[in-house]
Amino acid sequence: MKRRTFVQTLGAAAATLSLPRRAIAATRLERIGLELYSVRKAMHADPERTLAAVRAAGYTDVELLWSFDNFGRTPAQVRASLDHEGLRAPSAHINPDLLVDRDKWSKALDDAKLIGQQYLIVPSLPAEAERSLDGWRLWADRFNVAGAAARNAKLWLAFHNEPTHMKPIAGTIPYDLFLERLDPAAVRLQLDVGNMVIGGGDPMRYLARHRNWYWSFHLKDVVADRSHDTELGTGTFDFRRFLAAVPDLPSKPCYVEQEEAVDEMAAVRQDYRYLRDLTFD
């Protein structure tokens, strides 16, 4: 081999080694979580057995449902069950009412620490509040106050989107108004991509607009007419493109959520296999 050819080959190899991992190899999700609402019937019947089945399916993380009273388990019992199965619970969905009672909010933060959580996430506001823009403004202010208290406890308050949050009120999308009034230093966001699509929004556009504000994701596929969710990979959403666009993805919890499955456990097993095998650049 001539010297010039050898040097060029060596230089190309060195350049390849210096590239970020995502530039030279396909990426997969490092951890795959399950929002336990997906298996709510099984959890009501037998929480411990269901958590064992979730872990056996391959999931490493779960998102709890405090709004379901953790299926009748105390925070200590929840932590013991998670530890027994080798599961992590980075977050929980909670009732918004907790935010307006200082003592209840303080206890919720303590419970979250006991379980080992990072985020307490409100999935939706009270129905009456979501009917008016003033209701959305009021709750944004409440989020900012409660979020500041969460930060003092080294935790985060976050907000999750529902399809109805994209329905205009007096010509204004309430979700947009809410985000404009939130303090990003006190509150983070969880993007449910399926709910966004069902509501008529574009998850890619919202991710581009608020890419450093979304710190958790619900991965939910949607049928062509946007009427309901379906098993991952059988609907219309481009998960490969979306996940490739999320900055610092390994640090952001991602959960499967399928709300309308006929067979809960069969569906979440199929969903896991889809994400396990999914690669993206």
Q: Is residue 6 assigned to a domain? A: no
State whether the Cα torsion 223-42-122-218 is positive or negative: negative
Q: Is residue 136 assigned to a domain? A: yes
Q: Is residue 14 assigned to a domain? A: no
For residue range 176-230, list pLDDT tens digits in order.
Answer: 999 999 999 999 999 999 999 999 999 999 999 999 999 999 999 999 999 999 9
- What's the rounded Cα separation, in Å, for the pair 53 and 38? 13
Identify the weakest region by mean pLDDT among 70-74, 94-98, 131-135, 168-172: 70-74
Cβ-based neighbour number of residue 81 at 10 Å: 20
- What's the rounded Cα separation, in Å, for the pair 249 and 29? 8
Report pLDDT for 248.
96
For residue range 23-36, list pLDDT tens digits in order.
Answer: 445 799 999 999 99
Q: Which two tokens stand for residue 215?
A: 């710190």
Cβ-based neighbour number of residue 67 at 10 Å: 17
69 pLDDT band (50/70/90 cuts)? confident
The β-bridge relationship of strands 119-122 and 156-160 is parallel
Q: Is residue 128 assigned to a domain? A: yes
- List, in order, residues 6 or more apart from 252 with CB less than 8 Å away: 214, 215, 216, 217, 246
Q: Is residue 74 assigned to a domain? A: yes
Q: What share of the chain is helix, strand, coil (3-state, %, to 5)?
A: 55, 15, 30
> Is the predicted pLDDT of residue 11 greater than 50, yes or no?
no
What is the Cβ-side half-sphere exposure of residue 214, based on CA atoms within 13 angstroms?
A: 24
Q: How far is CA 28 from CA 230, 239, 251, in A?
A: 21, 11, 13
Name residue, tokens 């399928």.
Answer: 258
For residue range 136-161, list pLDDT tens digits in order.
Answer: 999 999 999 999 999 999 999 999 99
Residue 75 lies in domain? 31-277
Number of domains in the chain: 1
pTM of the model: 0.90
Q: Which of 222, 242, 239 is nearest to 230 (CA)?
A: 222
Q: Is residue 227 assigned to a domain? A: yes
Q: Is residue 153 assigned to a domain? A: yes
Tell me the CATH number at 215.
3.20.20.150
Radius of gyration of the chain (CA): 21
Strand partners, 206: none
Q: Which two tokens stand for residue 95?
A: 């009732």
